Structure formats: C-alpha cells, structure tokens
Amino acid sequence: DAKTTQPPSMDCAEGRAANLPCNHSTISGNEYVYWYRQIHSQGPQYIIHGLKNNETNEMASLIITEDRKSSTLILPHATLRDTAVYYCNSGGTSYGKLTFGQGTILTVHP
Amino acid sequence: EAQVTQNPRYLITVTGKKLTVTCSQNMNHEYMSWYRQDPGLGLRQIYYSMNVEVTDKGDVPEGYKVSRKEKRNFPLILESPSPNQTSLYFCASSAGTANTEAFFGQGTRLTVV
C-alpha cells in the first residue's frame, strides 16, 4: 500500500464545504484511493473510493488529480455530525489488510 | 442489513484470565481481520484470515490467537491477557479485492487490570 500523508486537523463551519486533502505520491497504477471516517471511538466507516476518475456518492465527492499523487475528499455541506477523524488510504483490501495513517481530525463548528 | 457484529462491547478482566472476543459478519466475505487502536499509534492489524482455516499474522500478533472455522466467524482469543493489551479492538471484513471496501464492527473496549 502507498504511504499517505494528511494534515492532522482541520476546521469547517457548519453548512460549508469541507475539503480534506491527502497526498499519496507513491500510489501504484492499480491501487484505489479510499476514504474512511471514524466518529468518536466507533468502527471506521467507509465513505468513498476511486481509481482515476472523480467519484460522487450520497456522502461525499472524491477528486483525484490526474497524476494520482493526491486527492481531496469533499463534504459539500458539512454538519456537526461530520466531526470525525478522516482516513485516506490506498490499496483497497487486498489480503484483507488496510493500512491506516493518523488521519485528519475534522471539527465542524456552528 | 450488512453488518459486522462484535461482542462484548466492553470488557474488564484480570491479568491471565483467558478471554474471547467474538466477531461475526453476514456478508459472506472471505477476508476478515482484527485491529487494535491505541492513542498515538492508530489502527494496527493483529491477525487476518483469507478464508476458512486460513489465517496469518498482522503487524502486532504477539499475545493473540484467532481461528476461522466458519466463514462468518472470526474470534480473537487472548490466552493470558496482560495490561498492555488494554485497547480498543475492531473486527473488519471485506470481499478482499482492490475495489471493495471494508466493513468494521463497533469495537470492543478491553481493559486488563
């Protein structure tokens, strides 16, 4: 799995878009970029993943740069319930293993 | 509903008293794994299983055992728990390909005194 780098913390006002960056400069061509989040001490929750193209689902959008060395998770209208630790990782679950870095603590404030 | 179920959610035990944390998934996933989460150290994999009767060590296997006798269940066994195994534990399952996400249980907070 490629090593990922994320800012340790970010703030966002409620109702605004939260843009969380991730650097994965060593990602290989067949590795997907995944985003998970962990609210308090609950189990990590899958958000979205992508390979090359930008992706959108009911939770978020994922923008992957053309060279695939970085990506941005976008929560279009952040709510207080989006306050969590957000993890970016790559490689999917080959052999059932996920490698998590330290993630970004996103705090959404009123 | 697709889910991974861990039990118990909370457990306080004494050093040396064998315990088992159960994990069950209802998605017919082949891959299952156990993680522990400690402050400042993030999520670290303990053991994983690629199918029934196939298990292997993760990054921090010392002091733990697992078994995979059925596809849906993957219990974590601590034969002789010690205080340094006090942690938050998560079980996860996945189809195991690069294009599939993992599903996590709600966690088991274990305290060994």
pLDDT at B31: 93
Tokens for A55, please give them: 């992706």
Q: How far is CA A74 from CA A43, A48, A83, A85, B28, in A?
A: 21, 10, 14, 14, 31
CB B98 to CB A42 under 8 A?
A: no
Across the range A85-102, mean pLDDT stands at 75
CB A96 to CB B33 under 8 A?
A: yes
CB A97 to CB B33 under 8 A?
A: yes
Closest alpha carbon to B104 in A98, A89, A56 = A98
For residue A46, pLDDT over 70 is answered with yes
Q: What is the mean pLDDT of chain A?
A: 90
Q: Which residues of B touch A43 (CB under 8 A)?
A: 4, 90, 92, 104-107
B85 Rama class: left (phi>0) / alpha (psi -120 to 50) / beta: alpha
Query: Which 8-37 residues of chain B touch chain A by CB within 8 A?
Result: 30-33, 37
Q: Which residues of B touch A101 (CB under 8 A)?
A: 42
pLDDT per position as a tens digit, B16-31: 999 999 999 999 999 9
Q: Tell me how many degrees the CA angle B2-B104-A27 measures, rounded to the nearest 5.
A: 115
Q: Specify the DSSP class assigned to residue A5.
A: B
Q: Which residues of A touch B3 (CB under 8 A)?
A: none
Closest alpha carbon to A22 in A106, A109, A103 = A103
pLDDT at A105: 96
Token look-up 């034969």 returns B79
Per-residue pLDDT of chain B (113 residues), as tens digits, is 989 999 999 999 999 999 999 999 999 999 999 999 999 888 899 999 999 999 999 999 999 999 999 999 999 999 999 999 999 999 999 987 778 889 999 999 999 99
Burial state string for A4-40 with b = 16 or more CB within 10 A and e = fewer than 16 = bebeeebebeeeeebebebbbeebeeebbbbbbbbee
Q: Nearest residue of B to residue A93 by CA position?
A: B96
**B51 close contact with A: CB closer than 8 A:** no
Neighbouring C-beta atoms of residue B75, cutoff 10 Å: 18
- Would you place residue A93 in the very low, low, confident or very high pLDDT band (cuts 50, 70, 90)? low
pLDDT at A58: 95
Tokens for A34, please give them: 């995944």
Token look-up 């400069």 returns A25
